[in-house]
Amino acid sequence: MASAVTQEALGRAGGAAAVSIGGAEPFDVERIRQDFPILNQRVHGKPLVYLDNAATSQKPISVINAERDFYLHDCANIHRGVHELSERATRKYEDVRAKVQHLLNAREVHEIVFVRGTTEALNLVASGFGRKLLRPGDEVVITAMEHHSNIVPWQILRDEKGIVLRVAPINDAGELIWEEFERLLGPRTKLVSVAHVSNVLGTINPLKRIVAAAHARNIPVLVDGAQAAPHLRIDVQDLDCDFYTLSSHKLFGPTGVGVLYGKTSWLEALPPYQGGGDMIRAVSFEKTIYNVIPYKFEAGTPNIGATIGFGAAIDYVSALGLENIGGYEHDLLSYATRRLSQVNGLRIIGTAREKAAVISFVIAGIHPHDLGTVLDQEGVAIRTGHHCAEPLMNRFGVPATARASFAFYNTREEVDRLVGAVERAKELLG
């Protein structure tokens, strides 16, 4: 995964050292942390250790300022005004579309649809397929590691349209069982919909291989990229996926905005998702002519300020470099895995060979919720529960897990704090 962290940096114990990435600019975590004022606070009297980045990540000051500047100087509705403020707002909003195109290496800017988030993007595709392209008995293939957002929309279609949902199993490490997955691709399969990275296991799925196998059978692929976009460089042309989805708020941007990437031909083929302003070219009581893509899918006033903030987040991660981020996080993940593995009675759930910086774990005799509560008292914020992946919990025979998820502003020192807090919880609860 991504570029190599130097041996010197790997060997350095603890702390927020400036890590040199593959001989390029040093990855100066101390300096980066200054861009995230929220990290510099105490919780229950202890310095905050924020390890709930998979739920939502923190925002750099440039993102906060970009959204604030919009409301201070440019606030107007987009696409419909002839006045200066509306033109400025429209320009800034559309600039972000071009930034997303560049981030994902999409061929065309009109392949980028703004939505509220990954959930809405997945529902948009499910709804379009369900209303126009799927017949009773048609099959959709997902995997056992999906988030509820990539399960429930298909179950709604199963109930309403009689489609069949097939689930590719995973092994004990949390990796897709390739032969089983391939076996599910049949003549009735109309779509494969998979997570790029699991929010619970951290598993990075072999997306290029999945797309190639599906395309060999003329099956399109929809990707849930919510957990991949903050950690990996995404190239939709190289992946050749038909749809890709992500959320701004997991990518250091504001909540309330996300992206659906779709190949031109697919976006042209799908019907509109919602009806309303902006998605039309002409309306009479007899008939409506829809707008061109991507506007056909963007009914109503969007979250303009958040989208502009999202643009600043893209600028921020692009300046750091997603390869650099991946390399740094890879080091952090290895360190955290090593340290947590040394805790007696702790079992890591999700040990795939290809992983992003997410670690789920359980401790014998301690409920994850109690663990999370003690960790909170120690200033360490992790997530506990089923992580919107209940079928995955059942697969591993646990009701819930504790999950530490990392971002590029986390440090080895914070991993040490996590491990110390887990040891303390064991003393108190074990």
What is the smallest separation between the CB atom of 371 and ligand PLP, expressed in angstroms?
20
401 touching ligand PLP, by CB under 6 A: no
195 touching ligand PLP, by CB under 6 A: yes
What is the smallest separation between the CB atom of 365 and ligand PLP, expressed in angstroms?
28
Cβ pair 324, 318 in contact under 8 A:
no
Q: Which two tokens stand for residue 233?
A: 């460089």
Q: Which is nearer to ligand PLP, 9 or 239 (CB)?
A: 239
Q: Which two tokens stand for residue 298?
A: 């963007």
118 touching ligand PLP, by CB under 6 A: yes
253/59 Cα distance (integer angstroms): 6
Q: Which is nearer to ligand PLP, 201 or 279 (CB)?
A: 201
Per-residue binder mask for ligand PLP (CB under 6 A), 239-278, x = binder: --------x-------------------------------
Applying the rule CB under 6 A, the residues between 202 and 241 that interact with ligand PLP are 224, 226-227
Q: What is the DSSP string of 268-314?
A: HHSPPSS-STTSEEEE-SS-EEEPPTTGGG--S---HHHHHHHHHHH
143 touching ligand PLP, by CB under 6 A: no
119 touching ligand PLP, by CB under 6 A: yes
Cβ pair 193, 154 in contact under 8 A:
yes
What is the smallest separation between the CB atom of 199 and ligand PLP, expressed in angstroms?
3
Q: Which is nearer to ligand PLP, 117 or 350 (CB)?
A: 117
Cβ pair 272, 280 in contact under 8 A:
no
What is the smallest separation between the CB atom of 419 and ligand PLP, expressed in angstroms?
24
Instruction: For residue 204, give the 3-state DSSP assignment.
Output: strand
Q: Which is nearer to ligand PLP, 118 or 189 (CB)?
A: 118
227/378 Cα distance (integer angstroms): 27
| Catalytic residue IDs | 388
How many residues touch ligand PLP under the rule CB under 6 A: the total is 11
255/123 Cα distance (integer angstroms): 18
Q: Which two tokens stand for residue 16?
A: 């927020």
Return the closest-CA partner of residue 251 out of 228, 268, 274: 228
| Interface ranges with ligand PLP (CB under 6 A) | 117-119, 147, 149, 195, 199, 224, 226-227, 247
